[in-house]
Amino acid sequence: MEGNVNWIPLGILGLIVVIWATKFLTAIRLKQKLKKAWDGAPFFRKKDTEESLIDSLTYPAKGRTIDSQVDDQTWHDLALDAVFDQLNYTQSSLGAEALYQKMRLLEFQPQDQLHDLEAFFEEHPDLRLKVQVIFNQLGKKNHNMARSIVANPGKHYAGLPLYLALACLPIVCLFAIPFEPVGAITLLVISVVFNIVFSSLRNWSNKIRLDNVSYLVRIFASAERLSDLALPQQEELKQAVKPFKKTRILASVLQSPTGTSEMEIVLLYLNVLFLLPQIAQVYIYNQVKAHQKEAQKLLDLLGEMEVAISLLRHKRDLEVVCQPVFTETGGIEGETLYHPLLSNPIANDVHFQKNMVISGDNASGKSTYLKTVAINAILAQGLGFAYGEKLALPYGHVLTAMDVSDDIEVGDSYFITESKAILRMIQHLKKPGFHYFFIDELFKGTNTIERIGSGLGIVRWLAVQNCLYMISSHDIELVAASGEVNDNYHFDSRYVDGKIVFDYQIKPGSAVTKNAVNTLESLHYPEEITQTAKDLIDQYEETGHWSLKEIKKE
């Protein structure tokens, strides 16, 4: 028996070697996948849910000045969730949350550090790949609460000495077996059973807290690994990670199962046996409470780092992209701006120095133009780049009213919902700073007379506020009358061989073409309908009124 028990320490050593070798081979495979993905499709373990990303907005960087927030209506109108997905090459939830915050919580200051990081990683692809591997191993975890724990670490927790004693007892028993086999084995069995039962009970009562702290532990361990690399923020990382160096021991065993390593089941058993989640919980909460500033600094540094890599990867797929210039006054000036979600976008220049009302035919490009300018204004301020050759603008809040609909649950009609969306813009003017407003079709949910009257009331009032508005409209009268307080632009089309042809180019002045009836003809509506429509339109343009009685039947 004594000869057999002597093999136990060797067996433990062998297990350690197997675990290390498995992790080493897994890291090599991961590195190959990430290297291949840099020139191809993004490589993710899983995607962060929007609910989890929205939760992260509650805990922005401590001390960070939030000058403007992109509200839900604007986010929805501009399909910024799809833009986020297109930009998002992050490997960790920490990076995805940082990217999401930058798109929604705007700071009115240049993104110099982000640009410097992008340039560094472009010049050092080997270091960039090492950083990506570390973030990938940190991984994704929805509602991970890391930012919440750092923002509110709570009270000081006792019990660490007890947990450490219980964790060390099985190890002491193993090494005591050669000297006192019966007693050591008996105590080993008792300690193992006790730890399993105790850990299970503690996990059951503190499951949420234990689950949350695991991701923060892995963040600190990732920060320590990153501090060993020759990165621009290496010294800052080293200083901030000092209070959390011991967390590296806990990180690998607290990692959530990913299916990429054969040893994960072994690590799960080690967690239970050595009370590692309980030890981590007490240690991390106490350390964060004592070193909250350093913990927040690590979240900020790591988040910024992965955002830079994500943007660098995204820009590799773009032919035209620019760094914006921020001015003190004026409006938005841009060259060849385009919409990022279109597969073959048509670029347009932007001269948004004065208020604008844009008219034009159906589907000619009015709404897309508004969205193009609004999206680029947000990304320029949040991420420091724009889709186009040039962009210059002052910092400012961006609000839209475009994709509104009736709210059945609340009982609001389309017009009420639309009116509320515009009212929120009016109320937002109470906040300091310049404003950019983008409205697609003013009050299209009501009758013509009141739509034009109310629309003109809005543009006249907004014309003297601290804002610029860009409004699209089909109403010829509204466009003509609003010319006293804003510039008019338009999009047009041509009707060629039964088909409507667009060039999607914005032009100065009011629209001179109409394509609604031509659209009906291209869809093969009965000729009697389209001809009647043409006759009625000619009649209205001559007399200023509508009458079916004066239309002769063929």
Q: Domains (ranges, CATH) in the chain?
A: 46-55+71-317 (1.10.1420), 322-513 (3.40.50.300)
Q: Take residue 199 and report the two structure tokens written for it.
A: 């850990």
Q: Take residue 475 and report the two structure tokens written for it.
A: 């109403």
Question: Phi and psi of 189, rounded to 5°?
Answer: -60, -45
The CB density around residue 466, as the number of other CB atoms within 10 Å, is 11
Cα(492)–Cα(362) distance, rounded to whole angstroms?
Answer: 9
Cα(233)–Cα(183) distance, rounded to whole angstroms?
Answer: 53
Statement: residue 330 has pLDDT above 80:
yes
Q: What is the pLDDT of residue 99?
A: 97
Q: What is the pLDDT of residue 179?
A: 80
Q: What is the pLDDT of residue 70?
A: 97
**Single pTM value for the model:** 0.84
pLDDT band at 304; cut points 50, 70, 90: very high
Question: Taking a C-beta distance cutoff of 8 angstroms, is the pair 529, 520 a contact?
Answer: yes
* 78-92, 288-302, 437-451: segment of lowest average pLDDT: 437-451
The CB density around residue 35, as the number of other CB atoms within 10 Å, is 15
Cα(177)–Cα(172) distance, rounded to whole angstroms?
Answer: 9
Q: What is the pLDDT of residue 536?
A: 84
The secondary structure of residue 319, as a DSSP letter, is S
Per-position b or e across 479-491, b if 16+ CB within 10 A of its CB: bebbeebbbbbbb
Question: Phi and psi of 265, rounded to 5°?
Answer: -65, -35
Question: Taking a C-beta distance cutoff of 8 angstroms, is the pair 85, 42 a contact?
Answer: no
pLDDT band at 264; cut points 50, 70, 90: low
Question: Which amino acid, residue 98?
Answer: A
Q: What is the pLDDT of residue 33?
A: 84
The CB density around residue 129, as the number of other CB atoms within 10 Å, is 15
- What are the pLDDT digits (tens) for 147-186? 988 988 876 566 667 777 877 888 888 888 888 888 888 8
Q: CA of 231: how far to CAs of 91, 129, 305, 432, in Å?
A: 18, 12, 10, 38
The secondary structure of residue 322, as a DSSP letter, is B
Statement: residue 522 has pLDDT above 70:
yes
Q: What is the pLDDT of residue 258?
A: 52
* 50-54, 70-74, 274-278, 473-477: segment of lowest average pLDDT: 274-278
Question: Phi and psi of 437, rounded to 5°?
Answer: -115, 135
* 137-146, 153-162, 432-441: segment of lowest average pLDDT: 153-162
pLDDT band at 190; cut points 50, 70, 90: confident
Question: Which amino acid, residue 150?
Answer: V
End-to-end Cα, the chain, rounded Å: 112
Statement: residue 256 has pLDDT above 60:
no
Question: Three-state SS across 143-194?
Answer: CCCHHHHHHCCCCCCCCHHHHHHHHHHHHHHHHHCCCCHHHHHHHHHHHHHH
Nearest alpha-carbon partner for 299 in 226, 230, 249? 226
Cα(81)–Cα(88) distance, rounded to whole angstroms?
Answer: 10
Cα(74)–Cα(436) distance, rounded to whole angstroms?
Answer: 12
pLDDT band at 211; cut points 50, 70, 90: low
pLDDT band at 199; cut points 50, 70, 90: confident
Q: Take residue 319 and report the two structure tokens written for it.
A: 């032919």
Cα(513)–Cα(552) distance, rounded to whole angstroms?
Answer: 25
* 17-26, 86-95, 113-122, 454-463: segment of lowest average pLDDT: 17-26
Statement: residue 91 has pLDDT above 80:
yes
- What are the pLDDT digits (tens) for 458-515? 999 999 999 999 999 988 888 989 999 999 999 988 877 777 788 999 999 987 667 7
pLDDT band at 363; cut points 50, 70, 90: confident
- Percent of the chain at pLDDT > 90 equals 47
Statement: residue 437 has pLDDT above 80:
yes
Higher-confidence position of 219 and 175: 219
Cα(248)–Cα(219) distance, rounded to whole angstroms?
Answer: 9
Q: What is the pLDDT of residue 302?
A: 97
pLDDT band at 278; cut points 50, 70, 90: confident
Statement: residue 296 has pLDDT above 90:
yes
H or E element at residue 75: helix 72-77
Statement: residue 82 has pLDDT above 90:
yes
- What are the pLDDT digits (tens) for 440-472? 988 877 777 888 888 999 999 999 999 999 999
Statement: residue 81 has pLDDT above 70:
yes
Cα(121)–Cα(131) distance, rounded to whole angstroms?
Answer: 10
Statement: residue 201 has pLDDT above 90:
no
pLDDT band at 251; cut points 50, 70, 90: low
Question: Taking a C-beta distance cutoff of 8 angstroms, is the pair 115, 323 a contact?
Answer: yes
Q: What is the pLDDT of residue 523?
A: 82
Q: What is the mean pLDDT of residues 297-326?
A: 95
Cα(385)–Cα(378) distance, rounded to whole angstroms?
Answer: 9
Mode of pairing for the β-strands spanning 325-326 and 332-337 = unpaired
Nearest alpha-carbon partner for 157 in 290, 271, 299? 290
Highest-pLDDT range among 326-335, 448-457, 525-534? 326-335
Statement: residue 310 has pLDDT above 90:
yes
What's CA 410's distance to the chain center, in Å? Answer: 29
Question: Taking a C-beta distance cutoff of 8 angstroms, is the pair 374, 78 a contact?
Answer: yes
- Percent of the chain at pLDDT > 70 equals 86
Nearest alpha-carbon partner for 43 in 62, 29, 54, 56? 29
Q: Take residue 72 and report the two structure tokens written for it.
A: 């839900």
Question: Taking a C-beta distance cutoff of 8 angstroms, is the pair 267, 255 a contact?
Answer: yes
- How many helices (H) and strands (E) are present in the chain, helices listed first? 23, 14
Statement: residue 341 has pLDDT above 60:
yes
Mean pLDDT, all residues of the chain: 85
Radius of gyration of the chain (CA): 31
Question: Taking a C-beta distance cutoff of 8 angstroms, is the pair 375, 340 a contact?
Answer: yes
Cα(243)–Cα(423) distance, rounded to whole angstroms?
Answer: 49
Question: Taking a C-beta distance cutoff of 8 angstroms, is the pair 74, 440 a contact?
Answer: no
Cα(66)–Cα(107) distance, rounded to whole angstroms?
Answer: 5
Question: Which amino acid, residue 346?
Answer: I
Higher-confidence position of 437 and 519: 437
- What are the pLDDT digits (tens) for 5-39? 556 666 667 767 777 777 777 778 777 888 888 87
Checking phi first, is residue 489 left (phi over 0); if not, alpha (psi -120 to 50) or beta? beta
